Amino acid sequence: MYDNNPTLTGKNKTVDESRQGEVFYDEALADGKKRFYIESYGCQMNFSDSEIVASILSDSGFAPTRNVEAADLILINTCSIREKAEETVRKRLREFDKVKQQKPETMVGVLGCMAERLKTRFLEEEKLVDMVVGPDAYRDLPKLLEVVGEGEKGVNVFLSKEETYADISPLRLDSNGVTAFISIMRGCDNMCSFCVVPFTRGRERSRDCFSIVAEATELFERGYREVTLLGQNVDSYKWENPETGQVVTFAQLLEMVAHVHPDLRVRFSTSHPKDITDEVLYTMARYDNICNYIHLPVQSGNSRVLKLMNRTYDREWYMDRVKAIYRILPDCAISSDIIAGFCTETEEEHRDTLSMIEWANYSMSYMFFYSERPGTLAARKLKDDVPEEVKKRRLQEIVRLQNQVSFKHNQADIGKTFKVLIEGNSKRSDQDFKGRNSQNKMIVFPKKHGLKPGDYVLVKVESATSATLRGHIVEN
């Protein structure tokens, strides 16, 4: 699902490549244990799922490693959003197969969204993997490993109507110790015509609010200072207490997590324009630790195309929601997902999308050209008739305009002072810290003695590009 990609690294990029993550590993922790290596591709939810898998494997006697050649178990957590992602996964599997040829006892498995759709190809045609495990079957991993150990193929791609992994404490992988994801729901009931998520992750179900608050509390006590609540459509979160019958909405959950501690920042992703309510916006306005940032995918700025996408809102509805955000949260930053060249899209309709970028004043966007996915409603009912060269040209125009809008958005911050959570060293220099403000903008600034990741500082912005702000620490 395109809405799943709000945390792809980098601003204003065309997301033509998959994200990849590796676990950190301490050799001393693996004495006498088998080792697993895991790579994750795609959305934040996949990275969160990999942490659940790591926890299950840890309880089964495995320890993580960054060295794929030292691994007894190699896992790749897959994404089916774009054909490019699937090509990347197949390429990696062929590379893992070379490792397996040198070390035949190594087990290789595919997890996640590609598991159901391509299980036959992986297991029988290409013979690249020993097991295939869907997003709702991770608890079954220990049994599947036993099956593989006995010389059989391990397969479980069953989609559950109840599984939320609420009782599993994720093993934080590749963590900076400051920010963390918390999955609050799984699956999706929206049937956007371009999207594979309902078919790969199943129906929507919400996790109980008490386990979410407990996880946030535990993270804060361990030194984390920011959590991102994850769901395919967080605004449709709804959990009913089986004992009291009380229904908890997303706005109420947001408030509960904000109450964990004033120093725990709260973010969320992703919002759906049809479901985000004024109640959520007013809740954000009441709490300083709920960040002023909303990822609100538009996909297209044209009502006819939105109807073909089955987005269940039109241009006017979307604009009304944006107006409400800026009215209730004047300092809020809004980002988006945009698809160029969807089925039958005309030049005039493409210009409607360009005009939306300027009107909504997005701080950044994740931009794609349409990639038909097998099994989706669009693949079955609509003709992918926009030539690829036209899609790419339209995407370039979208990217160019978004870069201009982002640059102006960031230039407007010069001279302002923001509260910034230090996340770690800047990528370019260990003499600088990096951190984000409430609006989710990355700010780079010189280090100051005595400060460390997890601390809050006030930073005055001195300069800006389309992607990053730069400034210096000022006294409280």
CATH number of the domain encompassing residue 185:
3.80.30.20
378 domain residue, yes or no: yes
Per-residue pLDDT band at 476 (split at 50, 70, 90): low
C-alpha separations of 275 from 198, 302, 411 in Å: 17, 19, 32
CA 105/CA 190 separation, integer angstroms:
42
CA 190/CA 309 separation, integer angstroms:
11
Based on the domain organization, do 147 and 192 belong to the same domain?
no
| Those residues with Cβ within 8 angstroms of residue 74's Cβ, 6 or more apart along the chain or in another chain | 36, 37, 38, 68, 96, 99, 100, 106, 107, 108, 109
171 domain residue, yes or no: no
Domain boundary among 350, 372, 404: 404
Predicted confidence (pLDDT) per residue in 390-440, tens digit: 999 999 999 999 999 999 999 999 999 999 999 999 999 999 999 999 999
Per-residue pLDDT band at 199 (split at 50, 70, 90): confident
CA 224/CA 180 separation, integer angstroms:
7
**184 in Cβ contact with 212 (< 8 Å):** yes
209 domain residue, yes or no: yes
Per-residue pLDDT band at 125 (split at 50, 70, 90): low
Q: What is the Cα 26 distance to its own chain's centre?
A: 26
179's tokens: 């920010």
Domain containing residue 112: 22-156
Based on the domain organization, do 282 and 395 belong to the same domain?
yes
**Pairing between β-strand 456-464 and β-strand 34-40 as defined by DSSP bridges:** unpaired
Residue 187 gets the label, from left (phi > 0), alpha (psi -120 to 50) or beta, of left
Instruction: Tell me which residue of 138, 129, 91 sits closest to 110, measured CA to CA.
Output: 129
Q: What is the CATH number of the domain that holds 61?
A: 3.40.50.12160
Based on the domain organization, do 251 and 378 belong to the same domain?
yes
What is the pLDDT at residue 45? 86
What is the pLDDT at residue 31? 61
pLDDT exceeds cutoff 80 at 126 = no
Based on the domain organization, do 452 and 375 belong to the same domain?
no
What is the pLDDT at residue 200? 85
165 domain residue, yes or no: no
Q: Is 372 helix (H, G, I), strand (E, B) or coil?
A: coil
Q: What is the Cα 221 distance to its own chain's centre?
A: 24
**459 in Cβ contact with 423 (< 8 Å):** no
Q: How many CA atoms lie within 13 A of 440 on its CB side?
A: 28
Average pLDDT over residues 8-28: 36
Instruction: Tell me which residue of 398, 445, 444, 437 sits closest to 421, measured CA to CA.
Output: 437
Based on the domain organization, do 316 and 457 belong to the same domain?
no
Based on the domain organization, do 353 and 230 belong to the same domain?
yes
Predicted confidence (pLDDT) per residue in 19-38, tens digit: 334 344 444 445 678 999 99
Q: What is the CATH number of the domain that holds 440?
A: 2.40.50.140
Placement of tokens 């601390």 in the chain? 455
Based on the domain organization, do 306 and 200 belong to the same domain?
yes
251's tokens: 């706005």
Number of compact structural domains in the chain: 3
**117 in Cβ contact with 374 (< 8 Å):** yes
Rounded to 10 degrees, the C-alpha dihedral 24/29/35/41 comes to: -20
pLDDT exceeds cutoff 80 at 449 = yes
Based on the domain organization, do 111 and 203 belong to the same domain?
no
Q: Name 445's bridge partners.
A: 433
112 domain residue, yes or no: yes
113 domain residue, yes or no: yes
What is the pLDDT at residue 78? 87
Based on the domain organization, do 356 and 461 belong to the same domain?
no
**Pairing between β-strand 456-464 and β-strand 417-425 as defined by DSSP bridges:** antiparallel
Instruction: Tell me which residue of 287, 295, 211, 293 sits closest to 251, measured CA to CA.
Output: 287
End-to-end CA distance of the chain: 42
Predicted confidence (pLDDT) per residue in 309-330, tens digit: 999 999 999 999 999 999 999 9
Based on the domain organization, do 460 and 367 belong to the same domain?
no
> Strands of 333-340's sheet, edge to edge?
293-295, 333-340, 364-369
At residue 190's C-alpha, the angle toward residues 184 and 193, to 5°, is 135
pTM of the predicted structure, to 2 decimals:
0.88
**135 in Cβ contact with 42 (< 8 Å):** no
CA 173/CA 57 separation, integer angstroms:
13
Based on the domain organization, do 138 and 244 belong to the same domain?
no
What is the pLDDT at residue 90? 85
Average pLDDT over residues 451-455: 97
Q: How many residues does the chain have?
A: 476
| Those residues with Cβ within 8 angstroms of residue 402's Cβ, 6 or more apart along the chain or in another chain | 12, 338, 357, 362, 364, 365, 367
353 domain residue, yes or no: yes
CA 166/CA 189 separation, integer angstroms:
20
453 domain residue, yes or no: yes
Domain boundary among 372, 404, 436: 404
Predicted confidence (pLDDT) per residue in 291-304, tens digit: 999 999 999 999 99
Predicted confidence (pLDDT) per residue in 203-254, tens digit: 999 999 999 999 999 999 999 999 999 999 999 999 999 999 999 999 999 9
Based on the domain organization, do 242 and 120 belong to the same domain?
no
